[in-house]
Amino acid sequence: MGIEPVDLRQIDVKAGNIYEGIIVAAKKARQVNDENKVEFNALVSTIPSSGTEDDSEDIENPAQLKIALDFEKKEKPHIQALHDLLDGRIEYKYKSK
């Protein structure tokens, strides 16, 4: 997984200016991250524990290890948010006073 440069002019076109685009993408990334945390915790809570409370439990529990590896393979929240912004899948508006 290499580094993919993002042309800032693309963000400037999709938002009012570059700073607005970055703020919108950051807020969307936080939402995506929160959703991922809820999903991960829900999946982990379904796994029965082995009864031991030591740090090596995740190595011994293959179901938990599989879930963790699946979540590591997912696209990172900030990259997903930038792609959503550039593809026009994020709608935003200013708060009124």
User: Does 7 reside within a domain?
Assistant: no
In a domain, 66, yes or no: yes
Q: Which domain holds residue 38?
A: 28-46+59-91
Q: How far apart are CA 18 and CA 3, in angstroms?
A: 20
CB-based contact 15:38 (threshold 8 Å): no
Please tell me the distance from the alpha carbon of residue 18 to that of residue 39, in angstroms, as a whole number: 31
- Does position 41 have pLDDT exceeding 80, yes or no? yes
Assess whether pLDDT exceeds 90 at residue 34. yes
pTM of the model as a whole: 0.80
Compute the distance between CA of residue 50 and CA of residue 33 in angstroms, rounded to an integer: 28
pLDDT digits (tens, 9 = 90+) for 2-24: 788 989 999 999 988 999 999 99
pLDDT tens, position by position, 46-86: 987 766 665 555 456 888 889 989 999 999 999 999 999 99
Flag whether 74 is in a domain: yes
| Tally of domains in the chain | 1
Residue 36: inside a domain, yes or no? yes
Q: Tell whether 52 is covered by a domain.
A: no
pLDDT at residue number 40? 93
In a domain, 12, yes or no: no
Burial of 8 (0-12, 13-18, 19+ CB in 10 A): exposed
